[in-house]
Amino acid sequence: MDDGLTIAELAQRTGLTTQTLRSYERSGLLAPDRSSNGRRRYSEDDLARIRLLSRLRATGMTVADARDYAELARSESETAARRHEVLVAHRQQVLARIDRLHDDLALIEYEIQRLYPHNGSRLR
């Protein structure tokens, strides 16, 4: 028996579909090993990488940038400084987006209070 997770097991553990995982592989985000019978086998490192890449994508990182990050990550310590730079820059983008969302939420809250000054909080 081969070690590692099957694509179905990885999908279950990550909450992603097998189609999404295959798409990640096609786009260069993943490079799973293959078992002796040719089936994909994913390691715990692949699982951790998928979780990080999923969060990066969910927070607005483009597929191209996530692919570049994944390629850097495959080189481990040789690219640690560059990966740090990428993550710090992405964090700044996420924080800016959060600030904009707070501003948007404040405007929505204002409108709720303006339209329903006595009952606005009940609408939540």
Prediction pTM value: 0.76
Total domains, the chain: 2
Helix (H, G, I), strand (E, B) or coil at 109: helix
- Last residue of one domain, picked from the residues 37, 59, 74: 74
What are the phi and psi torsion angles at 32 (to 5°)? -70, 155
Give the tokens for residue 70: 């994944």
Q: Which ranges of the chain would DSSP assign to H, the alpha helix? A: 7-14, 18-26, 44-58, 63-73, 80-115
Query: Is residue 120 scored above 70 in pLDDT?
Result: no
For the chain, the average pLDDT equals: 89
Give residue 28's domain range: 1-74
Query: Is residue 98 scored above 70 in pLDDT?
Result: yes
Listed residue (35, 34, 59, 30) closest to 46, CA to CA: 30
- Tell me, yes or no, whether 91 and 113 share the same domain: yes
Query: Is residue 2 scored above 60 in pLDDT?
Result: no
- The confidence band for 1, taking pLDDT boundaries of 50, 70 and 90, is very low
Helix (H, G, I), strand (E, B) or coil at 41: strand
Which pLDDT score is estimated for 87?
Answer: 96
Tell the burial category of 68 from Cβ atoms under 10 Å away from its Cβ (0-12, 13-18, 19+).
middle
Residue 17 per-residue DSSP state: -
- Tell me, yes or no, whether 61 and 84 share the same domain: no
